[in-house]
């Protein structure tokens, strides 16, 4: 994993191959098959390692805040997600951008049907860092959510299916709002990581903080300004 990650960071996803990894390690490519059946499994293992690393950082940031400071904990997780992502753009691109050519996307339906795959397990842990805090906010003080009857039928059906997969007892409107907040957070970070905000912003952090404040208000929390440096 160390070699694969080094190649990814140095030369991009296309550089991650069994031949290149074996050459760097002083092995033959067939020797790697003792550890991985193929490149797809190696990349999935690398993605799982990265998801776990990111989850570790977010959980540590969360736990530096008092357990009763739900706003502080949620802000800490979101800010750490951004910090890790912008300082690890190559890793972020592998995890959240386009998959390697010829490699199955870990988020596609086939992968979702394999709950034991390393990417699914690690990705579920990553999502749970956000999901658990969101659910805690709802349980402490339910906030205004979209009414199920006002949703487009196609959207409601998908959200209800997602709720069944999660096995959580939340209203369908809460899940819609959770996904809305995630789209806002991920979209802001991805635009920054991939360099698509610099046409307007030389420093995207204040905009990120403004978007966080909007998301916080959506779920009934007071905005938490970034402490002075």
* Residue 6, domain member (yes or no): yes
Q: Are residues 8 and 109 in the same domain?
A: no
pLDDT score for 103: 46
Residue 77, domain CATH: 1.10.357.10
Q: Are 186 and 224 in contact (CB under 8 A)?
A: no
Backbone angles phi, psi at 36, to 5 degrees: -135, 135
Local confidence pLDDT in tens for the 229 residues of the chain: 788 888 888 888 888 888 888 888 887 767 777 777 777 888 888 899 999 999 999 999 999 999 999 999 999 999 999 999 999 999 999 888 765 444 444 445 554 456 677 888 888 899 999 999 999 999 999 999 999 999 999 999 999 999 988 888 899 999 999 999 999 999 999 999 999 999 999 999 999 999 999 999 999 999 999 887 7
Q: Are residues 31 and 57 in the same domain?
A: no
Residue 29, domain CATH: 1.10.10
pLDDT score for 100: 46
HSE (CB half, 13 Å, CA atoms) of 85? 27
* Residue 229, domain member (yes or no): no
Please list, residue by residue across 151-184, b when 16 or more beta carbons sit within 10 angstroms of its beta carbon and e when fewer do.
beeeebebbeeebeeeeeebbbbbbbbbeebeeb
Q: Are residues 9 and 75 in the same domain?
A: no
If one counts the domains in the chain, the total is 2
Q: Are residues 169 and 64 in the same domain?
A: yes
* Residue 225, domain member (yes or no): no
Q: Are residues 3 and 114 in the same domain?
A: no
- Residue of 152, 165, 87, 163 whose CA lies nearest to 120: 165
Q: Are residues 107 and 202 in the same domain?
A: yes
Q: Are residues 103 and 158 in the same domain?
A: yes
What 134-141 contacts at long range (C-beta under 8 Å, 24+ apart), as own/partner pairs, is 134/74, 134/174, 134/178, 134/181, 134/219, 135/168, 135/170, 136/70, 137/70, 137/74, 137/219, 137/220, 137/221, 138/170, 138/174, 138/219, 140/70, 141/220
Please state the pTM of the whole predicted model. 0.89
Backbone angles phi, psi at 40, to 5 degrees: -55, -45
pLDDT score for 109: 53
Q: Are residues 118 and 171 in the same domain?
A: yes
pLDDT score for 114: 66
* Residue 208, domain member (yes or no): yes
Q: Are residues 26 and 109 in the same domain?
A: no
Q: What is the 3-state secondary structure (H, E, C) of 143-209?
A: CCCCCHHHCCHHHHHHHHHHHHHHCCCCCHHHHHHHHHHHHHHHHHHHHHHCCCCCCCCCCCHHHHH
CA separation for the pair 198, 133 (Å, rounded)? 31
Q: Are residues 168 and 61 in the same domain?
A: yes
Q: Are residues 93 and 2 in the same domain?
A: no
Q: Are residues 82 and 170 in the same domain?
A: yes
pLDDT score for 221: 95
Tell me the residue range of the domain where 5 lies: 1-35
């Amino acid at each position: 994993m160390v070699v694969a990650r080094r190649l990814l960071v140095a030369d991009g996803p296309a550089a991650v191959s069994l031949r290149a990894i074996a050459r760097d390690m002083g092995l033959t490519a067939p020797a790697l098959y003792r550890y991985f059946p193929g490149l797809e499994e190696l990349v999935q293992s690398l993605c799982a390692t990265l998801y776990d690393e990111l989850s570790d950082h977010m959980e540590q940031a969360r736990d530096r805040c008092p357990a009763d400071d739900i706003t502080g904990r949620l802000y800490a997780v979101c800010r750490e997600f951004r910090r890790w992502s912008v300082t690890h753009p190559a890793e972020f691109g592998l995890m959240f951008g386009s998959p390697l050519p010829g490699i199955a996307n870990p988020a596609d339906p086939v992968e979702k049907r394999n709950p034991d795959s390393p990417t699914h397990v690690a990705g579920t842990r990553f999502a749970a860092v956000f999901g658990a805090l969101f659910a805690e906010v709802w349980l402490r003080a339910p906030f205004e959510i979209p009414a199920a009857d006002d949703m487009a039928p196609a959207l409601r059906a998908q959200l209800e299916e997602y709720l069944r997969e999660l096995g959580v007892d939340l209203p369908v409107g809460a899940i819609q709002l959770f996904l809305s907040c995630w789209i806002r957070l991920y979209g802001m970070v991805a635009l920054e990581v991939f360099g698509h905000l610099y046409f307007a912003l030389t420093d995207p952090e204040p905009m990120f903080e403004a978007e966080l404040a909007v998301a916080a208000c959506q779920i009934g929390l007071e905005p938490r300004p970034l402490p002075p440096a």
